[in-house]
Amino acid sequence: MKLPRQRRKDNRRKQFGPAKSVNGFRFRAWAACAFLVFGFGVIGVRLLSLGFIPYGEPETTPRLTTYTPFEQRGNILDRNGELMATTLSVYSLFADPANVLDSEQVARQLPTVLTDLTTQDVRNKLSRNSRFVWLKRALTPHEVYQVNALGLPGLGFRKEDRRMYPQQNVAAHVIGATNYQGQGISGIEGGAEEKLASGEDVALTIDMRLQRALHDALERTMEAHGAKGAWGITLDANTAEVVAMVSLPDYDANAYGKAPRSSWLNRNLGGVYEMGSTFKTFTLAMAKQELGLSLEEEIDCTKPLRIGRFTIRDSHAKRKWLKAREVFAYSSNIGAAQIADRMGPEVQQNYFQKLGLLDSVDIGMVTSVTPLYPEHHRWKRIATMSMSYGHGIAVTPIQMVSAVRAAAVDGVLKQPYTMIGQERLPDQPVFKPTTVAAVRDLLGDVTEYGTGSHARVHGYKVGGKTGTSEKSVAGGYDDKKHVASFVGVMPLDNPRFVTLIMVDEADEGAAGGGVAAAPAFADFAKQAVAILGIAPTEKTVELLKPEAQNGVLQAAAKAKARAKIQAQAAPKKATRKAQKYDKHEIITAYYHPTYQ
């Protein structure tokens, strides 16, 4: 068999022609040039980075960036142009944890200059998985200098706009506060948010001179009587403008977020209280207008008033027939209840509505609550009688002072307001001029020979009414905790201002409105007449003497001494039982679900 013939392998090298040799040489030359250019380029970039760009060692001086979280916000001014709130540029400190070389060093050194930070706070913030963390907002210029002096890498400052309040705590509840986005969240900051956010200034009716005077008087009262709190409002008697409003305890408006939550509440707007005997102002005014009640008419106050299974008593019983004006001056619950009973529930409810006591009040600020009172079908005889002396109905202080202004000044309910040019509801006529004159007469009796004698101011005719109410607790009332009040009009013959003072849980023996609140009114009024330039009606007058400012302390000392004597003279068990029976039974009449 014949095998196939194998092809012989040609191992000879192939030969290139002249053209192919030239092309290969050019390619290799271009490749070599490109490699050299790339290499020199890398070296050049590296040299530039080393020469002009910081690398490896982070900067040791905190860097500055600019950030404006909100547009320039308008200022808040008082009625005389005094600055109450403005916007300033401040520096806030941040860190980039990735650029912090030694986080433990930063955690140790930073609290030495920023004392409100702790080592653990800084350590926790720097351990976050983030390239940006705030360490402290709104540093002072001195704090910025001190942080820079530390030379800590990885820190920086950001320029921000921050709201500042020169008045600090004196007008904190009036002004309110903003959040970190610059939006108003309380007070005027919240109520006038639209105007302020647009850059428009807002002028208030507040007079900072009177604001400071009221603040000081309330502080002295709290200290003198060991009170838990104190608050007050002053209205212009003619316009119903709010010229001063203080609520204690308060807070520094520049540190709103750090203040205890309990201090945030403006009790003048956000709290409702049973006002006690100050409500007798309305009871007597209604009776004068509706019944033609003579202030000389005598009313039987010889013994407690029994209505079914309920009993109404007087705290300081006279046990005799009292004239209508004496019912008011001596603050007789028995007399007031009988007067209200003659008018009936419908008349009382109608006047309370006209006086603005049944609806919330808008004065241009955030925070306004609704009063508490019986539903219409429960507004029966016993409820009417208990509300005649301020029990069974709870209203805000701004409602109370506004209603008293109407009854004692011009007979017209005017909506109180805090911003100049603020839109208001139409005025509501309530009382005739003859009724107003009678109310002033009654208010004058209280300070002349009644329960409000501590409210007198030398050289001026003062009118007012005291009030005392028990604080509500779960299931009833605590007869050991009281809120004392005094509402005053001054000067009584030509009113310029109306002021309500309330004191929360004063020391035992000073819990009544005549002892705790009336002296505080006098303390404030003595300063107010000097500030407003109100001329005295008598030749001899003492204004702002040291002993005048210490009047609250003197009244407190006398009250404690008097309470001690009374405690030794009276049988304690019988007294406590009578008080508990009196107050508890009256309030039960209002809250009992089956009572008709």
Q: What is the DSSP string of 331-399?
A: T-HHHHHHHHHHH-HHHHHHHHHHTT-SS----SSB-----B---GGG--HHHHHHHTTT-S-BB-HHH
Model confidence over 93-147: pLDDT tens digits?
A: 999 998 899 999 999 999 999 998 999 999 999 998 889 999 998 888 999 999 9
264 with 281, same domain: the answer is yes
Report the alpha-carbon distance of residue 482 to residue 532 in Å, rounded.
33
Report strand pairing: 320-323 vs 177-178: unpaired
Report the alpha-carbon distance of residue 297 to residue 277 in Å, rounded.
20
233 with 171, same domain: the answer is no
Residues of the chain with pLDDT under 70: 1-27, 29, 31, 37, 39-71, 367, 475, 538-596
Residue 48 covered by a domain: no
Q: Among residues 159, 174, 203, which one ends one of the domains?
A: 203
275 with 388, same domain: the answer is yes
Neighbours of 239 (CB within 10 A): 13
Report the alpha-carbon distance of residue 17 to residue 256 in Å, rounded.
92
Residue 330 structure tokens: 């001596």
190 with 331, same domain: the answer is no
Q: 440 and 404 in contact (C-beta within 8 Å)?
A: no
282 with 431, same domain: the answer is yes
Residue 111 structure tokens: 């609290």
191 with 256, same domain: the answer is no
Q: 405 and 304 in contact (C-beta within 8 Å)?
A: no
Residue 555 structure tokens: 């009244």
Q: 490 and 523 in contact (C-beta within 8 Å)?
A: no
List, in order, residues 6 or more apart from 23 with CB less than 8 Å away.
none
Interhelix angle 141-150/103-113, rounded to 10 degrees, is 150
189 with 233, same domain: the answer is no
Residue among 526, 529, 527, 505 at smallest CA distance from 517 = 505
192 with 215, same domain: the answer is no
Burial tier of 584 (Cβ tally within 10 Å: 0-12, 13-18, 19+): middle
Report the alpha-carbon distance of residue 480 to residue 484 in Å, rounded.
12
73 with 216, same domain: the answer is no
Report the alpha-carbon distance of residue 538 to residue 554 in Å, rounded.
24
Q: Which residues of 70-102 are buried (b: 16+ CB within 10 A; e: fewer)?
A: beebbbbbbbeebebbbbeebbbbbbbbeebee
Residue 163 covered by a domain: yes
Amino acid letter at 448?
A: E
Q: Among residues 171, 203, 235, which one ends one of the domains?
A: 203
Residue 455 covered by a domain: yes
Give the residues across from 230 on adjacent strands: 248, 503
Residue 357 covered by a domain: yes
Q: 488 and 404 in contact (C-beta within 8 Å)?
A: no
Report the alpha-carbon distance of residue 248 to residue 259 in Å, rounded.
13
Q: 314 and 333 in contact (C-beta within 8 Å)?
A: yes
Residue 413 covered by a domain: yes
Residue among 193, 126, 591 at smallest CA distance from 391 = 591
Residue 444 covered by a domain: yes
Residue among 435, 460, 423, 442 at smallest CA distance from 542 = 460
Amino acid letter at 498?
A: V
**CATH number, domain containing residue 242:** 3.40.710.10
List, in order, residues 6 or more apart from 574 with CB less than 8 Å away.
none
Model confidence over 211-221: pLDDT tens digits?
A: 999 999 999 99
163 with 312, same domain: the answer is no
DSSP state of 420: T
Report the alpha-carbon distance of residue 318 to residue 301 in Å, rounded.
7
Instruction: Report in angstroms the alpha-carbon separations of 382 from 216, 244, 417.
Output: 41, 37, 35
**CATH number, domain containing residue 75:** 3.90.1310.10
Residue 431 covered by a domain: yes
Vertex 379: Cα angle to 376 and 385 (nearest 5): 160
Query: Tell me, what's the pLDDT at 4?
Result: 52
Q: Among residues 151, 183, 203, which one ends one of the domains?
A: 203
74 with 215, same domain: the answer is no
316 with 394, same domain: the answer is yes
Q: What is the DSSP string of 480-541?
A: EEEEEEEEEEESTTS--EEEEEEEESPPTT--SIIIIIHHHHHHHHHHHHHHHTPPPSSS--
Give the residues across from 466 on adjacent strands: 486
Residue 70 structure tokens: 């909100």
Domain that holds residue 68: 63-203
Specify the number of domains making up the chain.
2
Residue 468 covered by a domain: yes
Query: Beta-strand (E) ranges in 76-228?
Result: 76-77, 83-95, 133-139, 155-164, 177-178, 184-186, 202-203
